């Protein structure tokens, strides 16, 4: 979902100061990546690839918690990086409405205290009239997702907590890179939706092996290629995954990945890129375990 520019929305607020910026509130579903469904599948693939999923008696509970954690961090990512925050911030830069707070006695009108009083009053007015009517729901969703992230990551252990912190860092980098316009970098989005979930699934049951880490990175690149319609990125991701499998002496995994990649490379298939990626992650996981 995209929004009007900050200048256009600011003009609308100036002409009608007592109404919300837009008629409808922004929802979390409108900001989630189109392929959010890949996150649970990536966690399951990583768990299978670890080869230790069934060694835990509570593996179903652990896997369910990891899936929920991945979905929670995708929702938090969407709130941070997938929303056009530049629009309300542009309005705030031009906001002049609001009643100043009560200042201290004997405060001069041109003093710093008077300035702070005036700006805080304008901030409260901006929050009430411009931000919360449209963005209040998405902010509440982000806060809820963050709370779920903290609880689940703490329950799953230190590796899950580090990965969750990594998601928050990546989201901040994405916001800076796109200047808050709600169009994050495709590879960073891929790392959040598939790359780190693959690692989370593996880390839930065993230490993350180097080949799983690298295949997770390759999956992020493939995701970026599918999202942006870039055959170059997609083929680079598959090539990296195959090279990793060959370098780690996993011929079965390399063959499985090549079978998934070949039709796309030879026939130039562009559609269903996310479906091919899902099949590739599962094929790698099963072949890794089968190949021993």
Q: Are 190 and 212 in contact (CB under 8 A)?
A: no
As averages over each run of 10 residues, the pLDDT of the chain (292 residues) reads: 41 39 66 90 96 92 97 94 84 74 65 74 78 84 94 96 96 92 93 97 95 96 94 95 95 94 84 92 94 70
**What torsion, rounded to 10 degrees, do the Cα atoms 235, 236, 239, 240 define?**
-150
pLDDT of residue 6: 42
CB within 8 A of 112, min separation 6: which ones? Answer: none
pLDDT of residue 161: 96
pTM: 0.83
User: Which CA distances in Å does 101 have to 104, 130, 275?
Assistant: 10, 19, 56
Q: H helices then E strands: how many in the chain?
A: 13, 0
Q: Are 291 and 253 in contact (CB under 8 A)?
A: yes
pLDDT of residue 96: 73
Residue 105 class from Cβ within 10 Å (0-12 exposed, 13-18 middle, 19+ buried)? exposed
pLDDT of residue 103: 64
């Amino acid at each position: 979902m995209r929004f009007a520019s900050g200048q256009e929305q600011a003009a609308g607020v100036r002409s009608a100061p007592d109404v919300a910026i837009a008629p409808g509130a922004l929802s979390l579903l409108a900001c989630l990546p189109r392929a959010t469904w890949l996150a649970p599948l990536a966690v399951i693939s990583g768990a299978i690839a670890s080869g230790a999923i069934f060694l835990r008696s509570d593996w179903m509970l652990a896997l369910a918690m990891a899936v929920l954690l991945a979905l929670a961090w995708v929702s938090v990512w969407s709130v941070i990086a997938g929303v056009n925050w530049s629009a309300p911030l542009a309005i705030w830069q031009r906001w002049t409405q609001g009643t100043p707070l009560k200042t201290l006695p004997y405060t001069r009108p041109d003093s710093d205290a008077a300035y702070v009083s005036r700006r805080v009053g304008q901030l409260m007015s901006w929050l009430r009239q411009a931000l919360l009517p449209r963005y209040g729901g998405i902010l509440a969703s982000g806060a809820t997702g963050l709370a779920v992230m903290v609880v689940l990551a703490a329950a799953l252990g230190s590796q899950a907590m580090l990965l969750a912190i990594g998601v928050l860092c990546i989201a901040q980098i994405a916001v800076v890179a796109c200047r808050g316009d709600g169009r994050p970098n495709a590879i960073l989005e891929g790392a959040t939706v598939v790359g780190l979930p693959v690692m989370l699934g593996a880390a839930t049951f065993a230490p993350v092996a180097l080949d799983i880490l690298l295949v997770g990175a390759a999956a992020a690149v493939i995701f970026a290629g599918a999202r942006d319609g870039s055959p170059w990125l997609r083929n680079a991701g598959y090539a990296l995954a195959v090279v990793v499998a060959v370098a780690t002496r996993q011929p079965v995994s390399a063959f499985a990945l090549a079978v998934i990649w070949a039709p796309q490379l030879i026939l130039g298939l562009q559609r269903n890129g996310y479906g091919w990626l899902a099949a590739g992650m599962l094929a790698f996981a099963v072949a890794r375990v089968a190949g021993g």
